[in-house]
Amino acid sequence: MKVFVWEYLSHVSDNYHEGGGCAVVAEDLENAKAIAMEKGVQFEENDEPVVYELKDSVESKVFIFPDAGCC
C-alpha cells in the first residue's frame, strides 16, 4: 500500500473555497484517484501526487483537507 498526497487540488469540496489538499491510502495511483473521486475530488491532467510506500498493509482511506478560506 502507498499514500498519495496532493498538496493542492482545485476542487476537493463543494464549499465556497473548493480547493485544498487530499491524501489517499491505496494500492496504486489509479485506485487512489478513483477512491478520491467517489468523495467528490476532481483532478486535472497535471495534478501529480507525492507518493510514500507504507511498511504495513492497511485499509484504503481518503483524507480531504479543504481550504478554510478567509471567511
- Nearest CA among 2, 7, 1 for reference residue 64: 7
User: Which pLDDT score, from 0 to 100, does residue 43 have?
Assistant: 97
User: Which pLDDT score, from 0 to 100, does residue 16 have?
Assistant: 84
Determine, yes or no, domain membership for 48: yes
Determine, yes or no, domain membership for 51: yes
Place of cell 485499509: 59
User: Which pLDDT score, from 0 to 100, does residue 15 have?
Assistant: 84
Both ends of the chain: CA-CA distance in Å?
37
CA–CA gap between residue 30 and residue 70 (Å, rounded):
33
User: Which pLDDT score, from 0 to 100, does residue 29 have?
Assistant: 98
- Nearest CA among 62, 63, 32 for reference residue 48: 32
Under 8 Å between Cβ of 11 and 21: no
Determine, yes or no, domain membership for 56: yes
Determine, yes or no, domain membership for 71: no
Determine, yes or no, domain membership for 60: yes
For the chain, the domain total comes to: 1
Q: pLDDT under 70 in the chain at which residues?
A: 70-71
Its domain, for residue 62, covers: 2-66
